[in-house]
Chains A and B, each alone.
Chain A
Amino acid sequence: MTQRDYSMTGPDSAWAVQTGLAAADWYHTDLPRKTMKDLMKRTNGPAIRDTAILFASMIVLAGFGIVLWPTLWSVPFWLGYGVLYGSAMDSRWHECGHGTAFKTRSYNDWLYQIASFCMMRNPHTWRWSHARHHTDTVIVGRDPEVVLMRPPALARVIANFFGLVDAWTAIGRMLTNATGRLTPDEADFVPRPEQPKVIRVARIWVAIYATVIAMAFALNSILPLMLIGLPRLYGAWHHVMTGVLQHGGLAENVTDHRLNSRTVLMNPISRFIYWNMNYHVEHHMFPMVPYHRLPQLHEAIKHDLPAPNRSIPEAFAEMWPALVRQLRDEDHFIKRTLPDTAKPYRADLHATVPVGVPAE
Chain B
Amino acid sequence: MPWIDACATDEIEQEDLVRFDHDGRTFAIYHSPDGDFFCTDGLCTHEQVHLADGLVMDYEIECPKHNATFDYRTGEAKRAPACVNLATYPTKVDGGRVLVEV
> Cβ of A134 < 8 Å from any Cβ of B?
yes
Smallest CB separation, A279 vs chain B (Å): 17
Q: Which residues of B contact A103 (CB under 8 A)?
A: 57
Known: A37-B55, A40-B55. Contact between A288 and B64, CB under 8 A?
Answer: yes
Q: Which residues of A contact B (CB under 8 A)?
A: 23, 36-37, 40-42, 98-100, 103, 105, 127-128, 131, 134-135, 191, 193-194, 286-288
Contacts of A127 in B (CB 8 A): 80-81
- Residues in A with CB closer than 8 Å to B48 are 23
Nearest residue, chain B, Cβ from A40: B55
Contact status of A98 and B55, CB under 8 A, knowing A127-B80, A191-B83: no
B71 contacts the other chain (CB 8 A): no
Q: Which of A135, A286, A288 contacts B47 (CB 8 A)?
A: A135
The distance in angstroms between the C-alpha atoms of A41 and B62, with both chains bound, is: 11
Query: Of B54, B55, B81, which contacts A131 at CB under 8 A?
Result: B81
Closest to A41 in B: B55
Chain B 23-66 interface residues, beta-carbon cutoff 8 Å to A: 46-48, 53-55, 57, 62, 64-66
Known contacts A98-B67, A287-B66: A42-B80 contact under CB 8 Å: no
30 A-B interface contacts by CB (under 8 A):
A23-B48, A37-B16, A37-B55, A40-B55, A42-B57, A98-B67, A99-B79, A100-B67, A127-B80, A128-B80, A128-B81, A131-B46, A131-B66, A131-B80, A131-B81, A134-B65, A134-B66, A135-B47, A135-B65, A193-B83, A194-B80, A194-B83, A286-B64, A287-B65, A287-B66, A287-B67, A288-B54, A288-B55, A288-B64, A288-B67
Query: A194-B80, A288-B62, A288-B64 known; 16 other A-B pairs, CB under 8 Å?
Result: A36-B53, A40-B55, A41-B55, A42-B57, A98-B67, A99-B62, A99-B79, A103-B57, A105-B79, A131-B46, A135-B65, A135-B66, A191-B83, A287-B65, A287-B66, A288-B54
Chain B 14-26 interface 0/1 with A at a Cβ cutoff of 8 Å (1 = within): 0010000000000
Q: How many residues of B contact A (CB 8 A)?
A: 18
Q: Cβ of B69 < 8 Å from any Cβ of A?
A: yes
Pairs A-B, 10 closest by C-beta atoms: A131-B81, A40-B55, A131-B66, A99-B67, A98-B67, A288-B64, A288-B55, A127-B80, A23-B47, A135-B47
Complex Cα–Cα for A41 and B47 (A): 23
Distance in Å: Cβ of B28 to nearest Cβ of chain A? 13
Contacting residues, chain A, for B67 (C-beta < 8 A): 98-100, 287-288
Q: What is the minimal beta-carbon distance from B70 to any residue of chain A, in angstroms?
A: 13
Q: Tell me the B residues contacting A by CB distance below 8 Å.
A: 16, 46-48, 53-55, 57, 62, 64-67, 69, 79-81, 83
- The residue on B at minimum CB distance from A105 is B79
Measured between C-beta atoms, what is the minimum distance from A289 to chain B in Å? Answer: 10
Question: What B residues does A134 contact at CB under 8 A?
Answer: 65-66
CA distance A301 to B10 in the complex (A): 29
Measured CA separation A118–B16 after assembly (Å) = 37
Cα distance A23–B43 when bound, in Å? 14
Instruction: Give the CA-CA distance A288 to B51 in the complex, in Å.
Output: 12
Chain B residues, CB < 8 A from A99: 62, 67, 69, 79
Bound-state CA distance A105–B81 (Å) is 15
CA distance A42 to B53 in the complex (A): 15
Chain A hits for B64, CB < 8 A: 286-288
Residues in A whose Cβ lies below 8 Å from that of B81: 127-128, 131
Distance between Cα atoms of A40 and B67 in the complex (Å): 11
- Give, as a whole number of angstroms, the nearest-CB distance from A42 to chain B: 7
Q: In the complex, which residues of chain B have a beta carbon less than 8 angstroms from the beta carbon of A288?
A: 54-55, 62, 64, 67
Query: Closest residue to B55 on the A side, CB-wise?
Result: A40
Min Cβ gap B77→A in Å is 12
